[in-house]
Amino acid sequence: MIKRTLFVFDFDHTLIDNNVDTWIMSVHPTLTVQKDMHSLRKRYPCWTDLMDHTAGLIHDKGVSKAELISHVRQAKLYEQAHKAITAVGKARHADAIIVSDANTLFIEHILTECGVRQVFKDIFSNPAHFDSTDRLHIQHYHSHSCPHCSANLCKGQVLTDYLNSRPAYSKVVYVGDGKGDYCPALRLSDNDVLVCRKGYTLAGMIQDNEQSCKAKTMVIDFVESLGDTIISMCL
């Protein structure tokens, strides 16, 4: 039986050179979420709860569902990210999933807009939906007790559960940038590869705790070379 490689991608600052949550804060000129961020973070210590609150503010400003989706779709993949995804999609013995602390609706729309949604077998992120008034709601992905992760999502648990249910993978290539990617990094084996974005939180955490991650670690500039790096792993 031919073993396969699983490519696991974060989304914000990994496949887009931006944070789609903060991106939508610019959808209306009088929205003051970024200005009021300090006080709002005290009220909503969990980022997902803050984003659900932000979605309510956007709705109150009269922004329509179509306008919000159109704004989201402008947060496109950068060239090297598109190149990376295309390479995995063409590889004979590789699959790809996304594990992200953004939300399912935003990710689906951006990937579809960029013509690469079909490459990903699964997307694991916070559920999002519009209600009958076209107000967007963003919910926690699950509850957990992991000390490393935010209250709404443990990426490490998602990765472990996925691999346990699909034993065909001989290697995992995990690509990420942030604090939330540290937990899954700790669960990688010495046969796996961790690709960190240079200058971002994950790379610093791995450097400060060199013995914590068993996987081969690569620290690269995603915008300059992510696609070329992933292509080399698909050959």
Q: Which of 10, 52, 101, 177 is catalytic?
A: 10
Residue 10 appears among annotated catalytic residues: yes
- Per the CB < 8 A criterion, the answer to whether 113 and 119 are in contact is no
Query: Token pair of 180, please?
Result: 């939330």
Residue 12 appears among annotated catalytic residues: yes
Alpha helices, DSSP H, located in the chain: 20-24, 37-43, 47-60, 65-73, 79-90, 104-113, 155-165, 182-186, 201-208, 222-234
Q: Which of 12, 21, 52, 181 is catalytic?
A: 12
- Per the CB < 8 A criterion, the answer to whether 191 and 170 are in contact is yes
CB-based contacts of 177: which residues, under 8 Å, 6+ apart? 10, 12, 13, 14, 196, 197, 200, 201, 202, 203, 222
Query: Annotated catalytic sites, by residue?
Result: 10, 12
